[in-house]
Amino acid sequence: MKKNTDLQNVLRGRAEPRIDGPLKVAGEALYTSDHFVPGLVFAVPARATIAKGKVTSIKTEAAQKIPGVLKIYSHGKLPGVFRPGAEEKLVSHTDEARPPFEDNIIRYYGQYVAAVVAETLEAAEAGALALQITYENEKPHLEKKMEQETSKKIESERGDARAAFAQAEVKVDQTYLTPVEVHNPIELHASVAVWEDNDHLTLYEASQAILNHQTVISQMLGLPKENVRVVSRFLGSGFGGKLWPWSHSIMTAAIARDLGRPVKLVVTRQMMFSNVGHRPRTQQRVQLGADRKGKLLSLQHDYVSQTSILEDYKENCGEATPYLYSTANLKVTSGLARRNQSPPTSMRGPGAVPGLYALESAMDELAIQLKIDPVELRLINEPQKDESNGLPFSSRHLKECFEVGARKFGWQKRNPLVGSMKKGEEILGWGVAACSWGARRLACQAVVEIRQDGKVRVSSATQDIGTGTYTVLAQIVNEQLGVGFENILVSLGDTILPPGPISGGSMATASVVPAVIEAAEKAKKNLFKIASETPSSPLKGEKAENLKFEKGKVISSKGHFSFSEVLQKANVNAAIGKGQSEAMMGGEKAKFSFHSFGAQFVEIGWNPEMARLKVHRVVTVIDAGRIINPLPARNQIEGAVVMGIGMGLFEEALFDERTGQAVNDNLADYLVSSHADCPDIDVTFLNYPDKELNEYGARGVGEIGLAGVAPALTAAVYHATGVRVRELPVRIEDLLKT
């Protein structure tokens, strides 16, 4: 494909406000649960109140007497639901393959055991409460400690890490724990299922991956894929929790088919804690061996993560460990511990985020032992290539992230002595950590239509989960065609559109942008062909290669014509171009190691008199390729930093060890960062294009901003208090022990 000079403007990064902003502010953007269709009825599930055992009976008489209650579903009473028949990564994936009501066995608290459908939401809720359900209760496995692993797998290995560790002069050997975290986007999960002739389904769904959803749902409902349409136009975020289909979605569709009525089901905030995934608890042992100068000689990272009874979801904590630092000897192993808990799933920066908490905490502990500045220790161990596979990095500027961050933060003024930096009543703590996340590209398509009504439409079956995809696509088309933002229509979030990427793994932008640019280029070429060849065109007879397109006008030696005039006279509705992007996913044939990098600097203030801990400021420097639009990009990093403060200080789902119930299953008791907790956040992008990933050099910025925040924060807490927190979140009572 030809290079185009307009492109350079795009790639310098233009700050454009979100095109979907006004719709959202005016309440005109329809989220899934906003959808209403005539004849709509409501489903409310009843959930198991034990974590392990069996349903022995369900008495429905009282529920059935409630006016408006239509039907009650439970084990053996919901026909036509199956397990999915094929598992393909990112294409037909679910983290909960057991269809709802498949058997009467309970494997986790909150598992759906019945559903009441009624004419009104109130009647369905009353019906669900009126069910009398009895159980045969068994003692569940809910222990927090993870000694009995079900498997142990070597994830990465080089040299002899054990022997090198034994001989190392300086050692760190510590275990770090992270709790269950729950995604908790403000928009709840929801499904609205509408059938036509009982064999064609339209499913409105809060989904980060509509095409995957379509595939899985069609398999689980026993339908041809083309009979299922999944729509997800606007999302109130997802954080990974909305990547894969959950039971409520299959249940809603199957009930609607059985009942012959459209059905809506909205997951409650309580259900968000047991029915739609979470980040599982992890226990990670990190052993570092170094020489006196700080050179890493050995790195061992052995982790176990909790998982559910039926599925094998693993929190991939060793994700970043093998490539982040240079060391000749390394071993990363993983294990799973099965518990009677609901299936875990990807949560923003899955694996790398808890993994880097452990690794970067250990690096800080090593720096303290060595009396080497923690920034310096990272610089000493900067690798020349990805030592896990011998590949060069496509673009790695971690050193510069540290250097720029240190300068902006004022790191050289840091007194390393614990508790030595004071400001008023407070002791200041300064901490630092590295962050990293993979960069990949998925195969996808996009279509651009230059239309005679004066509009240009771009479409792709990807999603905007709040990250700015609508705006980025409009921006790319505008820079390519110059027709003005106001004339560009962006269509996303519908499986009838050209196949687009999942909104996950920070891959959507890097994947879809090349396809959109190619589509715009091809649409323009088609416009020139139409202009020069169609009998009634004002430019008939011109050579297509002599035509130019500027600011919405087709330019030739004969004069200028707006594209709408050309198309109207030619009697063509739209000049259409289709673009395609190829996958780049690493693997055997990879020539480069693709990753984003960053450095997080955190200042906390600890007031021991008041027992108050506060994050004052965060300086974050991110190397994520070329930034297309700095506004939503900065917004992503700021949001991720706020989430990182939540991870460091607040977030932890607590479970009753008798029943498995999340005891803080609401936003009053499950703490997330609030506005009052937000520090001053300074975001810098280094903006080096990663030309190996795509010729535009864009990677993605959704997840990396969360990585590194928690270990930088706990390093700062140590610097202020002398207390090393190795079990998240930081608790004030831990800090008062000294």
**Do residues 617 and 595 make contact, with C-beta atoms less than 8 angstroms apart?**
no
**Do residues 332 and 358 make contact, with C-beta atoms less than 8 angstroms apart?**
no
Q: How far is the CB of 465 from ligand MOS (least distance, A)?
A: 7
Closest Cα partner for 644 from 174, 181, 144, 304?
181
Tokens of 229: 């349409």
Q: Hey, is 591 helix, strand or coil?
A: coil
Taken in order 473, 476, 477, 478, the sign of the CA dihedral is positive
Closer residue to ligand MOS, CB minimum distance, 248 or 348: 348
- Distance between CA atoms of residues 250 and 100, nearest Å: 7
Q: For every residue of 219-259, which 3-state class applies, written as one string?
A: HHCCCCHHHEEEECCECCCCCCCCCCCCHHHHHHHHHHHHH
Q: How far is the CB of 506 from ligand MOS (least distance, A)?
A: 7
Distances (CA, A) of 308 to 97, 267, 355: 12, 20, 20
Taken in order 237, 240, 244, 250, the sign of the CA dihedral is negative
Closer residue to ligand MOS, CB minimum distance, 190 or 643: 643
Closer residue to ligand MOS, CB minimum distance, 460 or 480: 460
Q: For every residue of 51-89, which 3-state class applies, written as one string?
A: CCEEEEEEECHHHHCCCCEEEEEECCCCCCCCCCCCCEC
Q: Which residues bind ligand MOS (CB under 6 A)?
A: 208, 238-240, 243, 346-348, 350, 504-505, 703
Residue 213: count of CB within 10 angstroms of its CB: 28
Closer residue to ligand MOS, CB minimum distance, 346 or 694: 346
Instruction: Let me know how many helices (H) and strands (E) the chain has, helices first.
Output: 17, 27
Q: How far is the CB of 37 from ligand MOS (least distance, A)?
A: 29
Q: How far is the CB of 348 from ligand MOS (least distance, A)?
A: 5
Q: Hey, is 428 helix, strand or coil?
A: strand
Q: How far is the CB of 729 from ligand MOS (least distance, A)?
A: 20
Active site residue 703: yes
Active-site hit among 143, 382, 703, 727: 703
Closer residue to ligand MOS, CB minimum distance, 707 or 716: 707
Q: How far is the CB of 703 from ligand MOS (least distance, A)?
A: 6
Helices 352-370, 709-721: inter-axial angle, 10-degree rounding:
30
- Distance between CA atoms of residues 374 and 172, nearest Å: 14
Closer residue to ligand MOS, CB minimum distance, 45 or 646: 646
Taken in order 109, 110, 112, 115, the sign of the CA dihedral is positive
Cis (ω within 30 of 0) for the bond into 729?
A: yes
Dihedral of CA atoms 338, 342, 346, 350 in degrees, nearest 10, equals -40
- Distance between CA atoms of residues 571 and 91, nearest Å: 40
Residue nearest to ligand MOS (CB): 240
Q: Hey, is 469 helix, strand or coil?
A: helix
**Do residues 532 and 548 make contact, with C-beta atoms less than 8 angstroms apart?**
no
Closer residue to ligand MOS, CB minimum distance, 253 or 347: 347
Question: In angstroms, what is the C-alpha Rg of the chain?
Answer: 27
- Distance between CA atoms of residues 22 and 234, nearest Å: 13
Residue 83: count of CB within 10 angstroms of its CB: 11
Tokens 């066995």, residue located: 105
Closer residue to ligand MOS, CB minimum distance, 208 or 478: 208
Q: How far is the CB of 151 from ligand MOS (least distance, A)?
A: 23
Classify strands 330-338 and 151-158 as parallel, antiparallel or unpaired: antiparallel
Q: How far is the CB of 346 from ligand MOS (least distance, A)?
A: 4
Q: How far is the CB of 234 from ligand MOS (least distance, A)?
A: 16
Closer residue to ligand MOS, CB minimum distance, 347 or 574: 347
Question: Where in the sequence numbering do the catalytic residues fall?
Answer: 703
